[in-house]
Chain A
Amino acid sequence: MVENSPSPLPEREVYGFPPRRPVLFLSSQFGFILYLVWAFIPESWPNSLGLTYWPQKYWAVALSLYFLITIVIGYLLLFGINIMSSSPLNSIHTITDNYAKNQQQKKYQEEAIPALRDIPISAVNQMFFLATK
């Protein structure tokens, strides 16, 4: 290595090495290898070794398919939840909320940047739509 710093280098980025959370990385790799071994090795070999209590091979395909469908439905569900949780058009939450109602008015100082606060919607509308274009 040219540099020994832990900062991301181009050749290191591709492999994600050294891994940030080694426990999670190693356990997920081990789980994946175990899943592949269980799915592909025929029943007789682990049985001869004495490891007889495995789930049915049906689940090797079913679980991966369930996982895939869950991800696809997750996208649709997230979109639906977002749309459902946006307030209706006649709700007061489209205009203001508790923080804006209880904000304090600071006194205006000359040549200072004005304090950040919520501008009432009437003033915003007048500035946008009534100012002569």
Chain B
Amino acid sequence: MEDERSFSDICGGRLALQRRYYSPSCREFCLSCPRLSLRSLTAVTCTVWLAAYGLFTLCENSMILSAAIFITLLGLLGYLHFVKIDQETLLIIDSLGIQMTSSYASGKESTTFIEMGKVKDVVINEAIYMKVIYYLCILLKDPMEPHGISQVVPVFQSAKPRLDCLIEVYRSCQEILAHQKATSASP
């Protein structure tokens, strides 16, 4: 079962949340970030090239112009490969673990998997990030203390959805975690 809704992120951009319910114990949430807009790309390119042309009129060295073209191309490729995230996915499998996938604009994908034995809870936390934002994070258990938290792993870091989207994801995750706790508590 699959369904898609649109939300907005903390800056006002549009996000699309796709929920797939594979089974009662396995769910996937896929957040698509807005694509690289043509407007910002042309704005950055124009400023860099105008600045290079200004330097060229000062120095009369034509290497500056070719260097500017080179820098723009390399910068764009580097940005698409290392910075610009297209889609973030959270896959929860009851009794197995939680997997987070980020896929970049150049096609690169990076995946992180946390096994269910380490997961204490999935919560919505508030923190200061230029302003106060809500973000979803996974709390990991502390092996020493039964009720302690050893680490906080934030998810959807580049998409940064707002609270309404987070509440949807939170409720679905809590259903699975409650189911998992019930089955793990009973012998």
Write the residues of chain A forming the contact surface with B, with a CB cutoff of 8 angstroms: 83, 86-87, 89-92, 94-96, 101, 120-122, 125-126, 128-130
Q: Could you tell me if A89 and B157 are in contact, using CB atoms closer than 8 angstroms? A: yes
Question: What is the bound-complex CA distance between A94 and B149, given in angstroms?
Answer: 12
CB nearest neighbor in A for B129: A89
CA distance in complex: A83, B129 (Å): 8
- Interface residue SS majority, chain A: helix
| Known interface pairs A89-B129, A89-B135; A125-B123 also in contact (CB < 8 Å) | yes
Inter-chain contacts of A130 with B (CB < 8 A): 171, 174
Chain B 103-162 residues near chain A, CB threshold 8 A: 120-121, 123-130, 135, 137, 139, 147-154, 157
**What is the minimal beta-carbon distance from B130 to any residue of chain A, in angstroms?**
7
Residue of B nearest to A89 (CB): B154
Show 9 A/B contacts (Cβ-Cβ < 8 Å), sorted by A: A86-B129, A87-B127, A89-B137, A90-B152, A92-B149, A94-B126, A101-B148, A129-B171, A130-B171
B49 contacts the other chain (Cβ, under 8 Å)?
Answer: no
Q: Which residues of A contact B53 (CB under 8 A)?
A: none
B152, A95: Cβ atoms closer than 8 Å? yes
Question: Nearest 4 A-B pairs (CB), nearest first?
Answer: A86-B128, A122-B121, A125-B123, A94-B127
Contacts of B137 in A (CB 8 A): 89-90
- On chain A, the residues within 8 Å of B174 by CB distance are 126, 130
Task: Beyond A83-B130, A130-B171, list 13 extra A-B contacts (CB 8 Å).
Answer: A86-B127, A89-B129, A89-B152, A90-B137, A92-B151, A94-B125, A94-B127, A95-B139, A101-B148, A125-B121, A125-B123, A125-B124, A128-B124
Q: Is B46 interfacial (CB 8 A cutoff)?
A: no
Q: Does the CB pair B149–A129 fall under 8 Å?
A: no
Q: Cβ of B125 and Cβ of A95 under 8 Å apart?
A: yes
Residue B170 at the A interface, CB < 8 A?
yes
Query: When chains A and B are docked, how far (Å) is the Cα of A127 from the Cα of B147?
Result: 19
Q: How far is the CA of A91 from the CA of B120 in the complex (A)?
A: 16
Separation in Å of the A120 CB from the closest CB of chain B?
8
State which residues 56-82 of B face A: CB under 8 Å. none
Least distance between B31 CB and chain A CB atoms (Å): 16
Q: Is the CB of B124 within 8 A of A129?
A: yes
CA separation between A122 and B152, bound complex, in Å?
A: 13
The A-contacting residues of B in range 21-43, CB under 8 angstroms, are none
Is B167 close to A, CB under 8 A?
yes
